[in-house]
């Protein structure tokens, strides 16, 4: 019976992901919604199980392995100054402002600091899709955005690992180390002669099996009925998620000497949190750094930023020659 339930989760999640793309949204948003609908929030036909959790962990590993294999270190070196400044400012601004706002809203210091780490991350996949659609992927702007996004994610992964050890109670399981290990392994595997074939194979396996389980499972654990009294904080955090990345990355781009039009486009390109923020949120759950209520708020805010980012990216990208 558990295999039938998992098959149902995979099929529905893939369908919802494709529908989301057709409607102009990110595939991740549709996949999260499928989990919410199948889970306790709506239909309650699929419950999280140990097998689903294990398959989700494999999904995280493949996702991060592919992210590492897609990271062209040589290309990143060409724009190291700009991408480093953008990445640093894109991390520093949310890492400072999110904890301040969370503390003012009455959250614990541990949750407040963790929120800064979660919303320091950037979604590579969603930005990549919009750049490709706008035919800006091979441009200097595209290379700078992707390089900065990769650096953001490396910083966020290191930060969550250190946080788990030194602030999160001194415990660090495989689930916490897995994304960082996989990302590093992916960068090393890129050097192999058959890396392109390996990446395509892993992508296919991920897209049709493990990614739908991972993103769908996050939706399963989201009880939207418990968020009725959290509407104002969620709206505030969503605005903060958009503005901190946009302003921080824009400022970093201007410091690097890029013109205003390009800097604004880069700022928009760094907004989406998507899959990386979800991976870090999952680390927080498995490491017992955050509870279900807080993780639900994080997931909703991540979804909002993932929806808004492409809407802002498309017109700003089109203004860059």
**Backbone phi and psi for residue 166, each to the nearest 5 degrees, phi listed first:** -95, -25
Tokens representing 319?
């203004």
pLDDT in tens, 230-239: 889 999 999 9
What is the CATH T-level fold of the domain 2-318, as seen in this structure? Na+/H+ antiporter like fold (1.20.1530)
pLDDT in tens, 17-75: 999 888 877 788 889 899 999 998 889 999 888 899 889 889 888 988 887 887 777 77
Cα–Cα distance, 100 to 241 (Å, whole number):
13
For the chain, the domains span 2-318
pLDDT in tens, 288-312: 889 888 998 999 999 888 888 888 8
pLDDT tier for residue 171 given thresholds of 50, 70 and 90: low
What DSSP state is assigned to residue 210?
Answer: I
Q: What is the DSSP string of 246-275?
A: HHHHHHHHHHTT--HHHHHHHHHHT---HH
Reading phi first (left if > 0) and then psi (alpha if -120 to 50, else beta), residue 274 is in left
pLDDT of residue 176: 59
Residue for token pair 């708020």:
297
Q: Tell me the pLDDT of the chain averaged across its residues.
A: 87
Cα–Cα distance, 307 to 130 (Å, whole number):
12
pLDDT > 90 fraction of the chain, expressed in percent and rounded:
41
In the predicted model, is pLDDT for residue 152 greater than 70?
Answer: yes
**pTM for the whole thing?**
0.82
Tokens representing 321?
């020659």
12 by DSSP, 3-state: which? helix
């Amino acid at each position: 019976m558990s295999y039938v339930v998992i098959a149902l989760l995979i099929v529905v999640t893939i369908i919802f992901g494709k529908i989301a793309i057709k409607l102009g949204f990110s595939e991740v948003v549709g996949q999260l919604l499928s989990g919410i609908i199948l889970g306790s929030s709506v239909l309650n036909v699929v419950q999280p199980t140990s097998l689903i959790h294990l398959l989700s962990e494999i999904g995280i590993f493949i996702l991060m392995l592919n992210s590492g294999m897609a990271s062209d270190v040589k290309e990143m070196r060409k724009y190291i100054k700009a991408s480093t400044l953008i990445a640093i400012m894109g991390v520093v601004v949310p890492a400072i402002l999110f904890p301040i706002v969370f503390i003012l809203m009455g959250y614990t210091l541990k949750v407040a600091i963790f929120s800064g780490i979660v919303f320091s991350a950037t979604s590579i996949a969603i930005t990549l899709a919009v750049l490709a659609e706008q035919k800006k992927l091979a441009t200097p702007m595209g290379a700078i955005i992707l390089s900065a996004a990769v650096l953001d994610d490396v910083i966020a992964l290191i930060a969550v690992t250190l946080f788990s050890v030194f602030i999160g109670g001194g415990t660090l399981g495989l689930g916490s180390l897995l994304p960082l290990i996989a990302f590093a392994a992916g960068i090393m595997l890129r050097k192999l002669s058959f890396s392109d074939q390996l990446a395509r194979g892993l992508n296919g396996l991920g897209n049709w099996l493990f990614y739908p389980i991972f993103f769908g499972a996050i939706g399963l654990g989201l009880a939207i009925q418990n968020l009725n009294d959290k509407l104002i904080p969620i709206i505030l955090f969503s605005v903060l998620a958009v503005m901190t990345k946009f302003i921080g990355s824009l400022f970093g781009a201007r410091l690097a000497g890029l013109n205003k039009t390009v800097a604004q486009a880069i700022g928009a390109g760094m907004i989406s949190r998507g899959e990386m923020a979800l991976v870090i949120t999952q680390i927080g759950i498995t490491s017992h750094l955050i509870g279900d209520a807080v993780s639900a708020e994080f997931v909703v805010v991540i979804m909002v930023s993932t929806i808004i980012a492409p809407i802002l990216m498309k017109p700003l990208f089109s203004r860059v020659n």
